[in-house]
Structure 1
Amino acid sequence: MKKILTMAALVCGLGMAHAANPLFAPLYTADPAVLVDGGRVYLFTGRDEAEPEGKDYVMHEWRVFSSCDMVNWKDEGIPLKATTFAWAKGRAWASDIVKRNGKYWFYSTVEHATVPGFSVGVAVSDSPTGPFVDARGSALITNDMTKQTDIAWDDIDPGVFVDDDGQAYLYWGNTVLKYAKLKANMTELDGPIQAVPVANFVEAPYLHKRKVGGKGLYYLSYSQHFPEETAYMTGPSPVGPWSPQGVVMERNTKTKTIHQAFFDFNGRSYVAYHNAELPGGGEFRRSVAVEEFSYRADGTIPFIHQTKAGPRANPSAACKK
């Protein structure tokens, strides 16, 4: 029976319960990706396995946890590993997931075994908890496909988005922000790779959409500077033009990275991110957390403070099943 991770004590009833940040102790987790499906939140993470004095990221697998109330989290296990991609030699780095046509498409960063540098792979499953299988049998993006920089890690941190008209987009990059359209089969690029000039961009691009003033407003968030802080831009389409909106989450004190995923669940808005605040945490032993927030009337995102309390309880109808 899969373990239930309870992240809070119930105080005066469920309505006053909060999840305790960071989540998922004693595991060290990083790079959250979120899918809301069937009245549940599925939160995907990488797993940091470095020793306390480690000097590099040791990441072999992705984990997935689910909740119907944002307080009690169920450990759903390991939906896939870096070795799910036979062409990869390891490095289960940041990922993102989307549902389309009843299937779940998982885009992930791994190090290629034969093409020097990092690549983006795509896996697919009939369930958000896996198991996932390689959807292509080869990388979707390899380091030799992009020439904007000469670093080996400039093709990382995929963020996938499917617009209301069915067009899918993939954003990714380090140092240079890149995007491409995806074909309806979700396994092929649909056109050229484009670069987006963004001042101080580092990594972790994430695209989401909301309706503001009766129109669709697109939010492109990302990590800037190093140590990183979370910033975002808004635009009228998935490809801009983009208007910078500033910083919404401050840099961490125990790790130089931070990696965000914005989502709505059961009428409330949230951001998942990582810090390194679990006991024994550090640069390569990070920990995922979630904060609840409310958009301003004009659709902008307020500055979001990291808390130890985490989100209050928000049970969906799925909790009654």
Structure 2
Amino acid sequence: MDIMKCLSTTVMCMASSLLLAQNPIVQTWFTTDPAPMVHNDTLYVYTGHDEDKADFFWMQEWRAYSTTDMVNWTDHGSPLAIESFSWADDRAWAAQCIERNGKFYWYVCLHSKISNAMAIGVAVGDSPTGPFKDAIGKPLYDGSWDYIDPTVFIDDDGRAYLYWGNPNVYFAELNEDMVSLKGEVKKLEQTVESFGAPNPEKRVKGQKYKDVYTEGPWFYKRNGKYYLLYAAGGVPEHIAYSMSDNPGGPWKYIGEIMPLQDTGSFTNHCGVIDYKGNSYFFYHTGKLPGGGGFGRSVAVEEFKYNPDGTFPVINATTEGVRPVATFNPYRRVEAETMAFSEGIKSEPNAKTGIYISEIHNGDYIKVREVDFGADGPDSFSIAAASALRGGTVEVRTDSISGNILCEVAIPTTGGWEEWKTFGSEIKSAVNGVHDVYFVFRGRKGCKLFNLDWWKFSK
């Protein structure tokens, strides 16, 4: 009996921990190398994508997600992939997107067919989520295995800079068109004072250095100071940084930001941004089920700069960040907008856009900080599709076993993308702010239905 009680308590604690988790911020796919960007009061994060069951960096595309409250994220699918670049054939590794004059420039690295090495490319789009296309039809800069992980920044004077590299750090100024280089590409001089160790060719074998620049630079400016954050230390990686008074240096090594810890991944890659008065540190872990060094997932922590502008030590958490806004349920909400989920995937369709698939018995979607107002809703509607037996959506508050607002039966609709709208009256009155759980029920082991959108109504 004591053993059974112990097991029961353990299971309950694990379930409670899962329900409180906010990191990783995306659970439907493995996501890597986060690059945040703010546009029109929305925070976007651009990521890489590790394929399921990978045993190396199997990466074919980049993905985009957005939020206005820091806890619910909308999946915008994959606006850019290897196939977007005729000159490339592999390795869609770290990238970053930036806006200039109403255009969005997405700097990527890829394996080049031209040089048979890595190259920096650039795509352009008219919106943060695309569509994007290759801006110049050729690499922006080509020809070496260490041409990876570009980071881009536009300074106060309008000058734009691009940094990249592993194990060297290259940088160049961009022309105002953002798709050509101004002047020559330079290589930063690494020293013990600037990055914790000399350039790779000058390092003494067996000598222990203060730190070692590895890869994944993130370049930006704050209060007149330039910051260069990067994965450091070799493998496994921690995150460290250097600061400068000028874009090209000289740089001064400051220290570690995210020390080595149990992230479940031997690599790390960061991006930093301010949003709605708060500072956020994005990184990746291997903490999703089935994840690891080749199955990574983006996470985020809130932090405050020290008074002198330096970073505090930031540790990885499962709790993630607090919300900065409430969520309006009285509108069409895309089903791929969520704070957390279990078991599901997202899929693209040219007509429908992104929708939720691979729904099985016991899977769920959680949406946080839903504000029902003083009066609460009268009804609920949802768009679903099922080729076979369908199932049921339980709409609950505050937990997967919480109060049931309503249940919606989803019958067969004639196909996995044959969408029909189903609805229900609200059975249990609700008002104020709650987390909402969509819990899926049906026959065990089989796919039940797909979801496109949902809406509460008064």
Partner of residue 190 from structure 1, selected from 179, 182, 187 = 182
Residue deviations 1:283-302, cap 9 Å, x none? 11001000000001111110
In structure 2, the partner of 1:158 is 150
* Aligned residue among 205, 209, 219 for 1:207: 219
Equivalent position of 1:278 in the other structure:
288
Segments ≥4 residues shifted beyond 6 Å? 316-321
The answer to whether structure 1 residue 102 and structure 2 residue 115 are counterparts is no
Deviation at 1:83, TM superposition (A): 1.0
After superposition, the C-alpha distances for 1:19-68 in whole angstroms (9 at most, x for unaligned) are: 700111031110111110111110111111041xx321111111101000
* Cα drift, residue 272 of structure 1: 0.6
Rounded to whole Å, the distance in 2 between the matches of 1:319 and 1:130 is 26
- Which sits farther off after the overlay, 264-273 or 235-244? 235-244
Aligned to 1:294: 304
Q: 1:79: which partner in 2?
A: 79
Structure 2 unaligned blocks of 5 or more? 1-18, 198-211, 332-458
Structure 1 residues 185, 317: CA separation in 2 closer, same or farther (over 3 Å shift)?
Answer: farther
Instruction: Note the alpha carbon deviations across 1:122-155, whole angstroms, 9 max, x for none.
Output: 00000000110000100011125xxxxxxx2x00
Q: Which runs of 5+ in 1 are unaligned?
A: 1-16, 145-151
Tell me how many residue pairs correspond in the alignment: 291
**Structure 1 residues 320 and 133: CA distance shift in structure 2, 3 A:** farther
Shift of 1:171: 0.3
Q: Give a deviation string over 1:74-100, Cα, whole Å, max 9, x none.
A: 111111111101110122110011110
TM-score between the two structures when normalised by the length of structure 1: 0.87
Q: Does 1:247 align with 2:259?
A: no
Match of 2:41 among 30, 39, 42: 39
User: Residues 163-218 of structure 1, C-alpha deviation per residue, up to 9 Å, x if partnerless?
Assistant: 0101000000001111011111111111111111132111011111111xxxx111
Q: CA RMSD in A?
A: 2.0
Larger Rg: 2
**TM-score for both structures, normalised by structure 2:** 0.61
Q: Which residue of 2 aligns with 1:180?
A: 172
SS at match of 1:83: helix
- Going from structure 1 to structure 2, the CA distance change for 1:169 and 1:161 (only over 3 Å counts) comes to same
Paired amino acid for 2:30: Y
* Farther-moved stretch of structure 1 (199-208 vs 123-132): 199-208
Aligned match of 1:27 in 18, 29, 52?
A: 29
SS at match of 1:180: strand
Map 1:117-136 to 2 at 5 A.
117-136=117-136
Q: 1:114 Cα shift? A: 2.5
Provide the C-alpha distance between the structure 2 equivalents of 1:219 and 1:312, rounded to a whole number of angstroms: 26
Question: Residue 86 and residue 278 in structure 1: after superposition, are their counterparts in 2 closer, same or farther (change >3 A)?
Answer: same
**Aligned-residue offset at 1:252:** 5.1
1:62-73 alignment, distance < 5 Å: 62-73=62-73
Residue number in structure 2 paired with 1:218: 226
- Partners of 2:30 and 2:52 within 8 A in 1: no
User: 1 CA distance for matches of 2:330 and 2:99?
Assistant: 24
- Alpha-carbon distance in structure 2 between the residues aligned to 1:81 and 1:175: 25
Higher RCO structure (Cα 8 Å, ≥6 apart): 1
Q: Is the Cα contact below 8 Å between 1:295 and 1:301 reproduced in 2?
A: yes
CA distance in 2, matches of 1:283, 1:309: 21
